[in-house]
Amino acid sequence: MFSNRSSGSGGIASNSNVENNSGNSLSTTLNKALNSQSSWPDKEEFLDVIYWLRQIVGVLLGLIWGVVAIQGLVGIVLFAVINAGLLYLYFSGYQSVDEEEYGGVWELTKEGFVTSFASFLVMWIIVYTGLHFE
């Protein structure tokens, strides 16, 4: 198990520094994600941004599909095209990253796709069922 003991006093270390660093890291990452052509020296940080953007897109598209009452394979295909297209435009156009640094376009395109699809399906089913079934 991990312990929170400081090396000097033997007491329990304060978690405020950890919380401060994670808060600063989150705001820094968010600023970089929202600013065009940001520098991404940490590849995992950019992949995390791609992952979470994809989750947001999945939930929003599921909500929209449920409200609009889109059904069947058309909804799934539209989701895949819009999700992949938006993220491709984000990382190739807006951020202008070198895809080869991340293993190519395919690696960035599939980053977090399955979990985004799952979130999309859950939202779509819940909203559609709640609004369109009696």
Q: Are residues 121 and 73 in the same domain?
A: yes
Query: 63: exposed, middle or buried (C-beta count within 10 Å: 0-12, 13-18, 19+)?
Result: middle
Q: Are residues 14 and 57 in the same domain?
A: no
Rounded-to-integer distance, Cα 103 and Cα 101, Å: 6
Calculate helix-pair angle for 43-68, 113-132, nearest 10 degrees.
Answer: 20
Q: Are residues 77 and 11 in the same domain?
A: no
Q: Are residues 23 and 86 in the same domain?
A: no
pLDDT tens by residue, 59-103:
999 999 999 999 999 999 999 999 999 998 988 888 888 888 888
Burial 13-42 (b: 16+ CB within 10 A, else e): eeeeeeeeeeeeeeeebeeebeeeebebee
pLDDT tens by residue, 8-39:
444 444 444 444 455 558 888 888 888 878 88
Q: Are residues 5 and 26 in the same domain?
A: yes
Q: Are residues 61 and 107 in the same domain?
A: yes
Q: Are residues 85 and 28 in the same domain?
A: no
Q: Are residues 23 and 5 in the same domain?
A: yes
Number of separate domains in the chain: 2
Q: Are residues 27 and 78 in the same domain?
A: no
Residue whose C-alpha is closest to residue 71's, from 134, 132, 113: 132
pLDDT at 36: 78
Q: Look up the domain containing 29 and give its range.
A: 1-35
Residues 6+ apart with CB under 8 A from 39: 32
pLDDT tens by residue, 112-134:
899 999 999 999 999 999 998 87
Q: Are residues 13 and 60 in the same domain?
A: no
pLDDT at 23: 54
pLDDT tens by residue, 35-69:
878 887 788 888 888 899 999 999 999 999 999 99
pLDDT at 56: 94
pLDDT at 18: 44
pTM of the entire predicted model = 0.76
